Amino acid sequence: MLFSFTRIFAALTAAVLFLPSLASGADAEHGEILFDTCVGCHGSEGYDNVYPTYKVPRLQGQWPEYIVVALQGYTDGSRNHPTMTAQASSFSMEDMQDIAAYISTVGELANGDVVGTAPESAATCVACHGANGQSMAFAFPHLAGQHQSYMVQALKDYRSGARTNPVMAPNALNLTDADIEAISEFYAQQEGLQTYSD
């Protein structure tokens, strides 16, 4: 399905209006302590989720505001991943903000030109995620450099309804498995996100 620009802009506006920005008082030092339990999975390049097998997402360089929203997604049921729900559900909003603030101190998004040619099926994605997978607004996650296998899983979850974000899910509905593989491969090869390392 091709989205009209009107619909995309309506979605953009809604997403930006309803997202909280990161509190200026977020405490990165407290976030570092909380992040200790996360490093085993998110700080290891080779760590895989099992059943199904895919790589744990890269967080370094990601928008901190999006990290908070993603963590909330695991607690409010809009994302379906029992381990991450268990991880996130013990945190207050302040804790999540502190963690996101800490992650933003360890490294920036690597900047790069577009590598290769985007598949045609990615034409609608660039409005929110950027031509090289680096988005312009914190409402939209950076995809540049994210693991291919993780993006494949996420896109299939939006398509099946296992992830229910109303801004993103409609974009995945008509993607074929081949589209999903090709788009994810394209974004994965861009420079950008990295595996956490302190």
Distance between CA atoms of residues 184 and 159, nearest Å: 14
CA-to-CA distance for 108 and 22, rounded, in angstroms?
A: 17
C-alpha distances in angstroms, 149 versus 65, 82, 96, 97? Answer: 23, 19, 25, 27
Contacts with ligand HEC by CB under 6 A: the residue count is 47
Query: Token pair 């953009």 is at which residue?
Result: 12
Q: Is 133 in the site for ligand HEC (CB under 6 A)?
A: no
Of these, 67, 109, 118, 188, which contacts ligand HEC (CB under 6 A)? 67
Q: Which of 28, 70, 144, 188 binds ligand HEC (CB under 6 A)?
A: 70
**69 part of the interface to ligand HEC, by CB under 6 A:** yes
Region of 22 on the Ramachandran plot (φ > 0 left; ψ -120 to 50 alpha; else beta): beta
Interface positions with ligand HEC (CB under 6 A): 8, 11-12, 15, 35, 37-38, 40-42, 49, 56-57, 59, 67, 69-71, 73, 79, 81, 83-84, 87, 99, 122, 124-125, 127-129, 139-141, 143, 146, 151, 153-155, 163, 165, 167-168, 171, 175, 183
